[in-house]
A and B are shown apart, each in its own frame.
Chain A
Amino acid sequence: MRYLPLTPDDRRAMLAKIGASDIDGLFRDVPGPALAPLSAFNLPDTQGEMEVERTLSKLAAKNIAAGAAPFFCGAGAYKHHVPASVDHLIQRSEFLTSYTPYQPEIAQGTLQYLFEFQSQVALLTGMEVANASLYDGSTATAEAVLMAQRVTKRGKAILSGGLHPHYAETVETVAGLFGPMVRGAVTPGEAEDLASLIDDETACVVVQSPDVFGLIRNLRPIAEAAHAKGALLIAVVTEVVSLGLLEPPGAQGADIVAAEGQSIGNGLNFGGPYVGLFATREKFLRQMPGRLCGETVDAEGRRGYVLTLSTREQHIRREKATSNICTNSGLCTLAFTIHLSLLGEEGLTRLARINHAKAVALADRLSKLPGVEVMTPAFFNELTIRLPKPAAPIVEALAGKGVVAGVPASRLFSRQTGIENLLILAATETNTDDDFAALAKVLQEVL
């Protein structure tokens, strides 16, 4: 087996040094009947690199990659161009094959990029501090609600109807153990009334902008309503490129920002691994979940970085920790940081404007089709249309014609009535005019 360096001679010599007659002598604490023979495992034997590559390539070829067709899926995961240098750099052995930086003297590379990442996330979101990442946007949102419950010592959370349903379900599964979870009305293309749901028992209001239908929300009035009752505003961002063009949540009164960072630096990967961004105000620092990297000096006075405030974390505080998280999204944060460094201020703002322009062009094109209505009056790079018939079969039919047309709202809101005809589409810098023409053409054919 090509990955195992020990030879049969090595193994014999090592057993002799140990004083064991055979390998199972080292497994003597395992009760005899529990030692299974190889034949107990109905699985294939070792294969060479070429055979394995063949098997996996066949599986991969059965899927339609986003880059292989006119492609319009969004709803929490976005197809963006990632510069070649990003993937090259994150595959450097020293990044790819290192552990969590618990020995800072020989992990300054990881620690410094985490410090840069935290700085970038704080700037982008307009918040004071950010952590070194959580698993993804949905789990970051759940952690935000748990944190709000700790900070306010209240249980109730109000979840906007425009929050991605997967996010809402993730929040309910975890934070629902500690208080009631109230969902706002689902109102595609308009903001629902959330203020009237906030009361003196409310820990937080969770609002996504742009929301799952693509609508840009104004968070300020909700922040005011929440703060008036002593509740926190949690702002959720699933398309982080939007922060290159839109007012950041920090400037609109958000107390915690939970975001999905996949759009910068990370591929679609069929849903994971992604990278959860988490930012808040300095006064809540000690209630934050996750790792934090901080600046310090070494014994010679040179600047360096360490993991810090770990008394919040499970490996010190155990059952009193602010989160149970251990492994986070290290390498995805690096991809995010490198891509954002390549973009810089100018690149990110240009990228955001291009995305918006593409979505405007898509909306224009679709609104000219008979029977199609654009539902989203204000959007970044994603919008919802109403079709004259149910969207799910249309999306399947279009996939058969080589166009991946978007996400039917019914796939996300399966219990909601009245949304069967809604289709959520995203357009990014990767879409061309040909893509728009192809979509319009096949859509017209099936309508």
Chain B
Amino acid sequence: MSMNNQGRPSGAGEVGNTGMATISGDRGLDHEEALIFELGHGAVGVDLPDVKVGDEKLGGMRRNGGIGLPGLSEPEVVRHYVRLSRMNYAIDSGLYPLGSCTMKHNPRLNEKMARLPGFGDLHPLAPQSVTQGALELISQLMTWLTTLTGMPAVAMSPKAGAHGELCGLLAIRAAIAARGETRPRILVPESAHGTNPATAAFAGFTVDEVPAKLNGHVDAEALKAKLGPDVAAIMLTNPNTCGLFEGEVKEIADAVHAAGAYFYCDGANFNAIAGKVRPGDLGVDAMHINLHKTFSTPHGGGGPGAGPVVLSERLAPFAPVPLLVADGKGLRLIEDVQAAPQGAKPFGRMCAFHGQMGMFVRALTYMLSHGRDGVRQASEDAVLSANYILASLKDVMSAPFGDGPCMHEALFDDSFLDGTGVTTLDFAKAMIDEGYHPMTMYFPLVVHGAMLIEPTESESKESLDRFIHVLRSLATEAREKKTARFAGAPRLAPRRRLDETAAARKPVLRWKPDPLKAAAE
């Protein structure tokens, strides 16, 4: 099997630019790896009996022909995925400063608890009498979420942040309809995460953008001027995507309420204020909480997440099913809209079953471990670390909104790179060669060449100091026009820069069997 040719068509001699070429094409611990489809050879990685079944009960729908899946033994499959894993950066291996993503430590106790058979091997439609422990866990988590946010109710089923946004907006839609009104417009600051306008459109609203001020805060006056009888809600992220707390939030909320609209708060950055500030005290009507950010359920290469939505008194009656209620016999799920208790008017259902239970177990484990004092300390340490980075870099990198303080993330722009020929992208990619994952780039959109750094509370001071030293050195070199290490970076990663234009122009989205090889066989 010439697997290395699959990954290195240019040949071993041309690979890399440090040190010698190798015969195998692999380099020490750095292995190339073919696709699983190219490795298959008719083996089987499970032992199952070869049972024959008749056609009598298949309604004439038995599959004609094969599927085309490769066959490998267990050791081959294990090696394949272990090798793939080694091509990934991870929080466990290094500081992961992705602003707005909150890459904090993922405690392994959370994983262990989620795998207890009573949770991990529990069927969602098992009789409720034998799932009381699961319902109790959800109930405890609801108490934590409503207490930390100072809100009276929470809808647990949304499966991620954007799904939570949708849940919140559908509750707002239902509340407006219940008042006999029609309000088609949603106000969204231009600094918002892309899910905000996308969700508003998804929920059947039109989107009206509100500008940011030069200091990175939303323009409260412009926002108030846009309020009117056709506005359903505003969607405001607080702390905002520039890493700043919107100090005028209460006045904004009052104006929104006076106009008959609702205040949706994007809770993506709740991790800066958990245990310090209760959004319920700020006039929020609905806010999703990314359990995979603030409460450290692992990001897993892009999910799964969970996005419960806390709701104000005015929106609580419209929460979707399932609803969790207590009666004489214990806890009970109400799964049908028609069966809702007196006063409840659920707008519908967000998904099958009851939400991301696996994430609920992890989040509650995180909360119980931290306690209220630990949650508060984590928020403070996250804010402290971000400000430490801001204070340590602002003389060599450009901070568009002055000396701070910031909240849990430090925002820089690319003006310090003016005239150097180095772009934000080059700068970020050079960090890869230094052993770091880049920060969030080109977001938020309100800053030119944005670089958003979120260190989280999980880094030691030594780790922060080392990171600061590397970024200071890179910034200094760039400003001295020593650009060699920037152009074409990274050089030391499993891959150099990838051609994204070619990928989009002629999409190859799946493996297909080689027609010549298939014909020969």
Contact = CB atoms under 8 A, between A and B. Distances in A.
B381 interface: yes
B364 A294 contact: no
B302 A53 contact: no
Given A123-B67, A268-B124, A298-B496, A246 B62 contact: yes
Interface class of chain B by DSSP: loop
A216 B56 CA distance: 12
A101 B498 CA distance: 13
A312 to B, nearest CB: 10
Interface string B368-403: 111111101110110111011011100000000000
Contact of B281 (A34, A44, A60, A108): A34
Interface in A14-68: 14-15, 17-20, 23, 25-31, 33-36, 38, 40-47, 49, 51-53, 55-68
A354 B53 CA distance: 8
Name, among A273, A377, A379, the residue most crowded by chain B CB atoms within 10 Å (CB to CB): A273
Nearest to A129: B509
Contacts of B503: 294-296, 306, 308
A123 B40 CA distance: 15
A421 interface: no
Contacts, number: 726
Contact of B91 (A26, A67, A97): A97
B353 A77 contact: yes
Given A29-B245, A105-B490, A295-B503, A167 B352 contact: yes
A300 B98 CA distance: 27
Given A97-B298, A139-B159, A269 B198 contact: no
Given A10-B460, A330-B299, A396-B127, A377 B44 contact: no
Interface size class of B (residues with CB under 8 A): 35 or more
A345 B389 CA distance: 52
Given A347-B45, A415-B338, A30 B245 contact: yes
A144 to B, nearest CB: 14
A251 B57 contact: no
Contact of B378 (A4, A55, A89, A321): A4
Contacts of B300: 90, 95-96, 98, 330-332, 334
A71 interface: yes
B438 interface: yes
Interface in B80-94: 80-82, 84-93
B1 interface: no
B241 to A, nearest CB: 12
Nearest to B349: A169
B87 A108 contact: yes
Interface stretch (B68-76, B413-421, B474-482): B68-76
Contacts of A30: 245, 247, 273, 276-277
Given A58-B133, A412-B125, 15 more contacts: A6-B384, A28-B405, A63-B119, A63-B131, A95-B300, A98-B89, A105-B497, A107-B87, A123-B69, A124-B69, A298-B496, A300-B496, A321-B194, A328-B302, A353-B53
